[in-house]
C-alpha cells in the first residue's frame, strides 16, 4: 500500500493488554461479542484496505468500570501503552488519550500528561458518565482546557444510563449508540457549551448518529416550548455543521447523503470501527467510501485523508516525508 496516499482511520479501537486484564469478565458493552486485538491484526487489516494510519482509542466503557485510584492508574497504563506503540510505529498509529472521568480533576491531570509528556494526538471521551452527558456544567472546565489546547476530542457512545425495558433485548450498540451521540450533542447545544467553546474540535462517531436526520427538527425547540427560547443556540444547523463526523459503520447510501448535506466539506473523516466491527466490515466501509457518488475525487481525498491530516498535526508531521 502507499502510505503517502492511504486513508487515515480516526475510529479504530485498540485493546491494550493491561486494559483487557483489568476488564476481566466484566460486561463491557451488553450484547456485544468482545473481540481479540493486537497491533499486528490492526496493521494487517490496514495494509489490506489501503489505510495508512489509524488513530487508536478505547471504546465504552472506558475506565468507568474501575474505582477511584484504580481508574487513574488504568488510564495512565493505557496512555503509556499508546505512546509506546506510536514510538514503535510512528507512521502507522496515533492515539486518543483516555481520561479517568467522571473525576474531572484527575482527568485534567491525565490530559496534561498524555498531551504534553506522551505526545498523544487527541482525547477520547464517552457520550455520558453516570447520568451526566457532556453538556453538564461539571465537564465544561475540562472541555475548555481541551479547546484551549487545540487538540481534537473523539466522542464515542456507550450504553445509555436509562436502560430499555427487559422485553426489548437488543444490544444498545445496534441502535441506541446513535441516539447516545445525538443526546450528548443536543445537551452540548442547549447547555450553551458549544457556543461558549467555539474552538472545541469535537469528532462525533458513526456519521453523528441521528443528527443529520434531526438537524432541522432541533431548530424547533422554542416553538415546542417557549422556555427554551433563551437556551436555544442562535444557529443550530451552523453549530452542527461545525462538528467533525467520522463515517464508521456509515459509508452507505442511506447515511452519507444526509451527512454530506449537513457537514462542512472539511469536517467528514474516515473511520472503520475495527475490531469491534470485523475486517469484513472494514472492506464494506472502504468500498462504500470509495464508490459513493455524491463526492468528487477532491472531496473523497479530503474525507479519506487530508481532513484528518489538518486536524492531527502531530500525526501529519510523523507522516511527512
- 225-258: per-residue pLDDT in tens? 998 899 989 999 999 999 999 999 999 999 999 9
pLDDT at residue 32 in the model: 83
- Asked if residues 143 and 134 have their Cβ atoms less than 8 Å apart, the reply is yes
Q: Is residue 177 part of a domain?
A: yes
Angle, helix 140-149 to helix 104-112, in steps of 10 degrees: 10
Q: What whole-number distance in Å separates Cα of residue 229 and Cα of residue 276?
A: 41
Q: Is residue 168 part of a domain?
A: yes
Q: What whole-number distance in Å separates Cα of residue 181 and Cα of residue 206?
A: 9
Q: What whole-number distance in Å separates Cα of residue 23 and Cα of residue 124?
A: 18
Q: Is residue 178 part of a domain?
A: yes
Euclidean distance between the first and final Cα of the chain, in Å? 16
Q: Is residue 2 part of a domain?
A: no
Q: Is residue 102 part of a domain?
A: yes
pLDDT at residue 161 in the model: 83
Residue with cell 456485544: 32
Instruction: List % helix, strand, coil for the chain (3-state, nearest 5).
Output: 50, 15, 40
pLDDT at residue 199 in the model: 96
pLDDT at residue 78 in the model: 98
Residue with cell 433563551: 230
Q: What residue ranges of the chain have pLDDT lower than 50? A: 1
Q: Is residue 1 part of a domain?
A: no
Angle, helix 39-48 to helix 279-291, in steps of 10 degrees: 30
- Structure-block grid coordinates of residue 226: 417557549
pLDDT at residue 167 in the model: 62
Other C-beta atoms lying within 10 Å of the C-beta of residue 38? 12
Domain that holds residue 135: 7-319
DSSP bridge partners of 269: 246
Q: Is residue 43 part of a domain?
A: yes
Structurally, how many domains does the chain consist of? 1
CATH number, residue 125: 3.20.20.140
pTM above 0.85, yes or no: yes
Q: Is residue 108 part of a domain?
A: yes
Amino acid at each position: 500500500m502507499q502510505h503517502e496516499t492511504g486513508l487515515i482511520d480516526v475510529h479504530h479501537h485498540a485493546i491494550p493488554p493491561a486494559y483487557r486484564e483489568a476488564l476481566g469478565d466484566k460486561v463491557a458493552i451488553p450484547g456485544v461479542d468482545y473481540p481479540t486485538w493486537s497491533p499486528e491484526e490492526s496493521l494487517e487489516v490496514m495494509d489490506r484496505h489501503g489505510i495508512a494510519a489509524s488513530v487508536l482509542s478505547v471504546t465504552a466503557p472506558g475506565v468507568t468500570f474501575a474505582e477511584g485510584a484504580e481508574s487513574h492508574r488504568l488510564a495512565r497504563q493505557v496512555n503509556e501503552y499508546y505512546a509506546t506503540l506510536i514510538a514503535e510505529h510512528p507512521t502507522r498509529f496515533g492515539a486518543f488519550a483516555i481520561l479517568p472521568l467522571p473525576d474531572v480533576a484527575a482527568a485534567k491531570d491525565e490530559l496534561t500528561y498524555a498531551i504534553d509528556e506522551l505526545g498523544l494526538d487527541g482525547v477520547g471521551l464517552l457520550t455520558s458518565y453516570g447520568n451526566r452527558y457532556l453538556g453538564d456544567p461539571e465537564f465544561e472546565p475540562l472541555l475548555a482546557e481541551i479547546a484551549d489546547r487545540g487538540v481534537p476530542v473523539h466522542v464515542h457512545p456507550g450504553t445509555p444510563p436509562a436502560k430499555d425495558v427487559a422485553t426489548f433485548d437488543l444490544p444498545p450498540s445496534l441502535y441506541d449508540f446513535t441516539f447516545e451521540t445525538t443526546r450528548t450533542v443536543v445537551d452540548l447545544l442547549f447547555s450553551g457549551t458549544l457556543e461558549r467553546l467555539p474552538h472545541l474540535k469535537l469528532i462525533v462517531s458513526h456519521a453523528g448518529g441521528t443528527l443529520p436526520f434531526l438537524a432541522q427538527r432541533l431548530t424547533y425547540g422554542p416553538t415546542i416550548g417557549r422556555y427554551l427560547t433563551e437556551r436555544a443556540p442562535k444557529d443550530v444547523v451552523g453549530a452542527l455543521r461545525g462538528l467533525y463526523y467520522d463515517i464508521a459503520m456509515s459509508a452507505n447510501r442511506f447515511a452519507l447523503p444526509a451527512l454530506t448535506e449537513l457537514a462542512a466539506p472539511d469536517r467528514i473523516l474516515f473511520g472503520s470501527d475495527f475490531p469491534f466491527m470485523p475486517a469484513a466490515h472494514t472492506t464494506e466501509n472502504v468500498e462504500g467510501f470509495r464508490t459513493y457518488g455524491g463526492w468528487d475525487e477532491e472531496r473523497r481525498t479530503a474525507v479519506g485523508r487530508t481532513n484528518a491530516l489538518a486536524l492531527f498535526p502531530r500525526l501529519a508531521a510523523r507522516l511527512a516525508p
